[in-house]
Structure 1
Amino acid sequence: MQTTSLIEVQSLPFWRRPMTLLFVMAAAMPIAFATWSALLNNFVIEVANFDGSDIGWLHTVREIPGFLAIGVIALIRVMREQVLGLVSLLLLGVATALTAWFPTLGGILTITMLSSIGFHYYETVNQSLQLQWLDKERAPKVLGWLMATGSAATLVAYGLIVMTWRAFDLDYNTVYMTAGLITATVALLCLALYPQFESPTPQVKKFVLRRRYWLYYALQFMAGARRQIFVVFAGFMMVERFGFDVHQVTGLFMITLLANMCLAPVFGWVVSRFGERRALAFEYTGLALIFAAYGGIYMFGWGVALAATLYVLDHIFFGLALALKTYFQKISHPADIAPTAAVAFTINHIAAVFLPAALGYLWLKAPEAVFVLAATMACVSLGLSLLIPRHPRPGNETILSRLRPAAAPAE
């Protein structure tokens, strides 16, 4: 297939340019994934009778492909990143469409594994393409707008669920099929209509693990461990403890999406204006307080209003995580972006493979302890974020670094 350089794209119609493709993919992915997430807790509790241990195992299985995201390095040897990303998006859509066909523990775990392969490989490649196709000066703001686009697409999907779930007495299969097929169709259209875009710098197509990226790796590990607790147990708490129905859970998601639509571009500006260290420090401080308050809900019997507020704030603070992407973009050699994106996703999911299942058993005994652990993780992340220099760049990756010449990709 003919390829197009990023210089030649200026002659293409606007709708066929790399930036447009990034926005189309940003809108397409959440339609399937966010719909799956919105219905998940109610689906597994009402249809498959899951308890806390079962939901922990489901999320452990879901995160295995993230742990194996390093396989992207092998795949880009025989397949272009852009094609791999769209094929992964197609797999996510198809697997989501088939989710309700397997209403047993074994069936749900199997179809979840397939959809997760699509999601995690798409996210790995998408992050790589974003950092390759966006220049460093514009990246924070554009990433903010990409987040807002994803939130807008998700908001439309959730809005339709809220308005139609009870009005038309929908079932899980109808909603999963509709959302999944929309995402799959968009992926097929992108494969057919967009040319192959060349990266300005050829990517290293082998395993890359560099000592000078150690702080980025550490922050990725802590982010993965901490986020798993929120993804697995915060929504589960709303259904199990407070009895939220599908339309109530989805309505709560819609509030967070409206907030993110408005604030994601602001977050991009904040990172551009104040730098990655301050943005991440603010995020981790807020998350530590939020997780501590989650624990208080169980220890002191605080009510549903506080739980819902914390859930929204939690989502908002996670939006500042785009600063971690731009931090790596600033310290990395351009040829390292693709392989390091794969390595970082694997590191991000190390804890995710065992943590949900292990904490599922802890949840049965002491739910508040799960959130106290998350607050502790946020504090550790805060300490690490303070090691980011005000102006990170190759040779000045952390405040502990001595300024040195930029490392070559083979070093």
Structure 2
Amino acid sequence: MRTLPLSEARVQPVWRRPVVLLFVMAAAMPISFATWSALLNNFVIEVANFDGSDIGWLHTVREIPGFLAIGVILLIRFMREQVLGLVSLILLGVATALTAWFPNLAGILTITMLSSIGFHYYETVNQSLQLQWLDKARAPRVLGWLLATGSAATLVAYGLIVVTWRAYDLQFNTVYMTAGLVTATVAVLCLAFFPQFESPTPQVKTFVLRRRYWLYYALQFMAGARRQIFVVFAGFMMVERFGFDVHQVTGLFMFTLVANMAIAPLIGSAVSRFGERRALIFEYAGLALIFAAYGGIYLFGWGVVLAAGLYVLDHIFFGLALALKTYFQKIGDPADMAPTAAVAFTINHIAAVFLPASLGYLWLVAPQAVFVLAAGMACVSLGLALLIPRHPSPGNETVFARLRPASAPAE
């Protein structure tokens, strides 16, 4: 594979430029991951007889590779980030294809671990490449369009499931195999036809943990803890409490994706216009209200329409999380993008390793308490977002930076 400096990429044919590769990968990954997610709750309940504790353990296992994403720093010493990202996509696709071959707790946990390694290592590298390949002025808007592209690819996958699941009496294995092989094939083609792009700033290939990034680390930790509750229990609630079938769950996901496709580019523009501080404050305040309302569904018996509406709003608000990426892009050293992406993913998944399993037991006795806890986490995130300055930059990472003596080092 030919190596090409990023500065020369603009003279390449449009289809061989780095931004195009980002869009292709953004479309390929959700085909496997979204299909796995759409079928997961029905698959584990109908085939493997999972209860709330089992689903909690599954998601704990799924998040272990995210916690170990720091291993990317070691791998990029021997493999280019671009290659590692595509190899990770291949692993995600192959593992997804084999998911239904192991219809028991031990088998599902094992194959989930493999697919999760592919997913989390891809996501770590992808975030690093985005921040290296996109200039700061364009990054929020392009990230918004990348988010919309992922939503569009997911929508196609969900649409095919809804149209074909009952009409052709599909089996879980058929759908998992098809989706996984599509992702793996696209990744192989990207390895074959795209040059390797050389970023202008060589990346630090050692562990990086800088004091001036502390607010970014704290926001990542809270985001990981809070998001786990939604990922694990919001969809599970729709199946367990309201009896959603595969096509109904997928239909809800599709509606959510249509909303994301329309709104994601606007989110990118909003972050560019109003700044990361305001965007994240708005996100966390909205999520606190949404999670509190989830708890109300169990406390007051609110119905399925409200639950579905909250699910859609939840996804839309989570889209604002792209502001966290651009916040770091503005405060970080250009050489820190790759190692900090790995460190951030590890921090993001600290809570993810123990929360799903522990909250699975809480779910068995008080489901509403799980969502009340998530609302509290959103409030903590809101407090942290208030510490972001209006114009973040190196040396101006938090609102406390102005209190630092002029002679004091930023590190």
Both structures adopt the same fold (TM-score exceeding 0.5): yes
Cα offsets for 1:15-54 (capped at 9, x unmatched): 0000000000000000000000000000000000000000
Q: Structure 2: how far apart are the matches of 1:131 and 1:405?
A: 30
SS of the equivalent of 1:197 reads strand
**How do residues 209-224 of structure 1 correspond to structure 2 at under 5 angstroms?**
209-224=209-224
Instruction: In structure 2, list runs of 5 or more residues that go unmatched.
Output: none
Return the letter of the residue paired with 2:182.
I
Q: Does 2:302 correspond to 1:302?
A: yes
Q: Supply the distance in 1 between the matched residues of 2:52 and 2:378 (Cα, whole angstroms).
A: 23
Q: Deviations over 1:35-77 (max 9, x none)?
A: 0000000000000000000000000000000000000000000
Q: 1:32-51 counterparts in 2 under 5 A?
A: 32-51=32-51
Q: What's 2:320 paired with?
A: 320
Distance of 2:408 and 2:264 partners within structure 1 = 31
Match status 1:335 vs 2:320: no
For 2:355, the equivalent position in structure 1 comes to: 355
Deviation, 1:390, is 0.3
1:261 lines up with 2:261 in the alignment:
yes
- Aligned residue for 1:400, secondary structure, equals helix
Verify the 8 A CA contact 1:395 1:406 in the aligned structure 2: no
- Deviation of 1:406 after TM superposition, in Å, equals 11
1:262-411 matches, cutoff 5 A: 262-402=262-402
Distance (Å, rounded) in 1 between the aligned partners of 2:408 and 2:2? 33
The answer to whether 1:144 aligns with 2:144 is yes
Q: Secondary structure at the match of 1:4?
A: strand
Label 1:167 to 1:208 Cα distance change in 2 as closer, same or farther (>3 A). Answer: same
Q: Partner of 2:54 in structure 1?
A: 54
Q: Deviations over 1:202-261 (max 9, x none)?
A: 000000000000000000000000000000000000000000000000000001100000
Aligned pairs for 1:47-86 within 5 A: 47-86=47-86
Distance 1:98 1:381 in 2: 38
Identity of aligned residues (%): 86
Cα-to-partner distance string for 1:111-146 (whole Å, 9 max, x where unaligned): 000000000000000000000000000000000000
Inter-partner Cα distance in structure 1 for 2:207 and 2:367: 39
Aligned equivalents of 2:352, 2:205: Cα separation in 1: 26
Distance in 2 (CA, whole Å) between partners of 1:49 and 1:406 is 59
- Tell me which residue corresponds to 1:190: 190
Structure 1 residue matching 2:202: 3-state secondary structure: coil
- The 3-state SS of whatever aligns with 1:339 is helix
TM-score, structure 1 normalization: 0.98
Letter paired with 1:132: Q
Alignment of 1:103-142 (within 5 A): 103-142=103-142
Unaligned runs of 5+ in 1: none
Once residues 48 and 407 of structure 1 are traced to their aligned partners in structure 2, the CA distance between those partners, rounded to angstroms, is: 56
TM-score, with structure 2 as normaliser: 0.98
- Tell me the CA shift for residue 2 of structure 1: 3.1
**Structure 1 residues 65 and 7: alpha-carbon distance in aligned structure 2, compared to 1, 3 A threshold:** same
Contact 1:394 1:405 in 2 (8 A): no
Question: What is the correspondence of 1:156-195 to structure 2 with a 5 Å cutoff?
Answer: 156-195=156-195
Q: Residue by residue, what CA displacement relative to the aligned partner does 1:58-114 show, whole Å, maximum 9, x if unpaired?
A: 000000000000000000000000000000000000000000000000000000000
Deviation at 1:405, TM superposition (A): 8.9
* 1:215-234 to 2 correspondences below 5 Å: 215-234=215-234
Cα distance in 2 between the residues matched to 1:323 and 1:233: 25
Q: Deviations over 1:135-183 (max 9, x none)?
A: 0000000000000000000000100000000000000000000000000
> Structure 1 runs of 4+ off > 4 angstroms?
403-408
